[in-house]
Structure 1
Amino acid sequence: MSQVAIQQITGSVPTRRRPKATLVVGAVLTGLVVLTAVVSLVWLPYPLADTSGGRLEGPGPLHPLGTDRLGRDLLSQLMAGARIALAVGTGSVALAALIGIAVGLVAAFARPWIDDTVSATLDVVIAFPVLLLAMLVVAVQGASLWSAILAVGLAMSAVVARLTRILARRVLQEQFVTAARTSGTSLLGVVFRHVLPNIAPTLAVSLALQFGGAVLAEASLSYLGLGAPPPNASWGRMLQEAQGTVLTAPVGAIAPGLAVVALVLGVNFLADGLRDLADPTRRRAR
C-alpha cells in the first residue's frame, strides 16, 4: 500500500469528495433553463404573435413541438416562458430577501414587546397560503409582470423574516458578539461584521428553495389569468390554454409542465447541494 493511501486512511491527507449527485443534477437542469432564457433574448424560431402555423399541428420539421389552437409555435412560447419564470423567480426572491431580512433583523435587535408583536404578525401572514396572498395583491395592482413579482415577493417575505429573526437571535447570544458590543462596536458594525456573515449560508439555501416556490406561484397565477398578460409567454398560461385540447394535442400541456418540473427540481436539488456545502456536519455525516 502506498504512503499516500495510508495517509488518506489515517486522515492525515484529506480525500477528495466527489460533487453530490443532486448538486450536479440541479446545476444541469437549472443551467439548461437559464441557457434557454438567454437564447430566447436574441433568437426565437417564430415571433410570439405569429399565427401562420396550422392549428394544433403535431411536432414536425417546421414546428419541433407543434402549434397551439391559434397556430402559434409552441417551442417559441416555451423558450420565452423561461424568461418570465426566471424573471419572476429572481425578482420575487430578491424582494422577499430585501424585506424579510430587514424585518427579521429589526425584530432580533428590538425590545421584547416589539419582537413579540412582529413575530405574531409574521405567524399570521405565514398562515395564509402564498398563492392566496399573491392573488390579493394582483387583484389590487392588476395583472402584469411587476404585479406577479410584487405579489410573490411580499407573500414570501414573512418566511424569510422569521428565519432571519431566529438565526440572528442565535448569533447575538454568542460570546464574540458580546465582546464586540463591549468593545464599542456600533449596531451596524455588529450587523454587517458578525450577524449577516454568519447567517448568510443558511439564508442563501432558504432563498434558493423559495425560488422554486416562486416559479410555481407564477405558473399558478398565469394559469388563473393573473400573471403577465399577452403577448408575454408564460408556462402557466400555456397549460391553461392547452387543457381543452390535451387529448388531441398533448404536447401543448406536456412541454410546459415538464419545463416547470425541471426548473423547480433543478433549483431544489441545487439548494440541497448548497446546504451540504454550507454545513460541514452534514458532509461528514454522509
Structure 2
Amino acid sequence: MSGAKRRPHATLVIGIALTAVVLVVAAVSLFWLPYPLSDTSGGRLEGPSALHLLGTDRLGRDLLSQLMVGARIALTVGAGAVAIAATLGILIGLGAALARAWIDDTFSAALDVVIAFPVLLLAMLVVAVQGASLWSATFAIGLAMSAVIARLTRILSRRVLQEQFVTAARTSGTNLLGIVTKHVLPNIAPTIVVSLALQFGIAVLAEASLSYLGLGAPPPNASWGRMLQEAQGTVLTAPVGAIAPGIAIVALVLGVNFLADGLREYTDPTRRRSGWRSR
C-alpha cells in the first residue's frame, strides 16, 4: 500500500535505547546519588559490594556516584557543544551560500583550513586560552565542530537555492528571509540533524579526552575522562574504576551514532517520491 507507514530502522531503536539509559542515569543524578562526591568514608579501592555497587576509588569515593555525575556532564557538554556548533555553523553556512561568489570562496577556504585541524586539538587551544572549566570545554568543542556544520550547510543550501521552486518563489516576490525559512531550512534540516547527532558523539569523546588531560571540568565535578585518568595507575588491582567509565563512554557514543544512522535511514530522501521538498 502506498500509504503504509515505514517502521523505524533497527539502528534507530538501538540508538534511542542506549541514549535513553544514559539520559535516565543523568536525570536521576540531579535528585539522588548513592554518596556525595566529597564522601571519602569508603575504603580505598574496594571492590563492588552491597554498600558500593561499583566499588570505590583510591580516595575512598563511590564510583557509581561519580559515574552518574559523569553522565550528566557528558550530556551537558555534548548538548551545549552541539547547540553552539549548530548556531554558528548554520549561520555561517547560510551566509556563505547566499553571499557573492568571492565571499563564498573565502568562507569555503577558511572552513577547509579549520576542518583540517582535529576537533580535540582546536578545543585544547581554546581551553588553554580560557582556562579549564565546564563552560570552556563546551564552548571550545562547539566552536571546533561548527566548521563541519557550516560547510555542510553551505553545500546543501546552495543545492536547494538552485532548485526550480526557489526560482519560482523569487519570481513571485518572496523575500530572502522567506526563501530561507520556507524553502532552504526545511529541506536541509533532516541532513543537518543527522550530522549534529554524529557531532554529539564526537563532543562526548572530546570532553572525555579533555578531562583525561586535566583540561575539562575541574574538581569536584566527576567526569568519565577524569575517572579513567585517576584509575590508570590501579587498573590491575581495581579494574572496575577504568572499566565502568570506559563502558559508559562507549555506550553513549554508540548510542548517538546508532541514532544518527537510524535517522539517516529513516529520513533518506531517496526513499521519498521526490527529492527536495518545497514547503
Query: TM-score, structure 2 length as denominator?
Result: 0.96
Corresponding residue for residue 23 of structure 1: 12
1:34 pairs with 9, 12, 23, which one? Answer: 23
2:120 pairs with 100, 121, 131, which one? Answer: 131
Over aligned residues, Cα RMSD in angstroms? Answer: 1.3
The sequence identity of aligned pairs, in percent, is 81
* Letter of the structure 1 residue corresponding to residue 134 of structure 2: L
Larger radius of gyration: 1
Corresponding residue for residue 82 of structure 2: 93
1:253 pairs with 242, 252, 263, which one? Answer: 242
Corresponding residue for residue 141 of structure 1: 130
2:178 pairs with 176, 189, 197, which one? Answer: 189
Counterpart Cα distance in 1 of 2:272 and 2:121: 38
Counterpart Cα distance in 2 of 1:269 and 1:215: 15
CA displacement at 1:19 relative to structure 2: 2.9
* Paired residues, number: 273
1:267 aligns with 2:256: yes
CA displacement at 1:18 relative to structure 2: 3.9
1:237 pairs with 223, 226, 243, which one? Answer: 226
1:87-106 C-alpha deviation (Å, 9 max, x unpaired): 00000000000000000000
For structure 2, the residue ranges without an aligned partner over 5 or more in a row are 274-279
Counterpart Cα distance in 1 of 2:3 and 2:120: 47
CA displacement at 1:128 relative to structure 2: 0.5
Corresponding residue for residue 8 of structure 1: none
The answer to whether the Cα contact below 8 Å between 2:127 and 2:140 also exists between their aligned partners in 1 is: yes
Corresponding residue for residue 139 of structure 2: 150
Counterpart Cα distance in 1 of 2:71 and 2:108: 36
Counterpart Cα distance in 2 of 1:141 and 1:282: 46
Corresponding residue for residue 166 of structure 1: 155
Look up the SS of the partner of 1:177 in the other structure: helix
1:223 pairs with 212, 216, 223, which one? Answer: 212
1:235-278 C-alpha deviation (Å, 9 max, x unpaired): 00000000000000000000000000000000000111111111
1:214-244 C-alpha deviation (Å, 9 max, x unpaired): 0000000000000000001100000000000
The answer to whether the Cα contact below 8 Å between 1:276 and 1:282 also exists between their aligned partners in 2 is: no
Corresponding residue for residue 277 of structure 2: none
Counterpart Cα distance in 1 of 2:109 and 2:3: 47
Counterpart Cα distance in 2 of 1:280 and 1:161: 21
Counterpart Cα distance in 2 of 1:30 and 1:189: 36
Corresponding residue for residue 3 of structure 1: none
For structure 1, the residue ranges without an aligned partner over 5 or more in a row are 1-11
1:24-71 C-alpha deviation (Å, 9 max, x unpaired): 111110000000000000000000011000000000000000000000
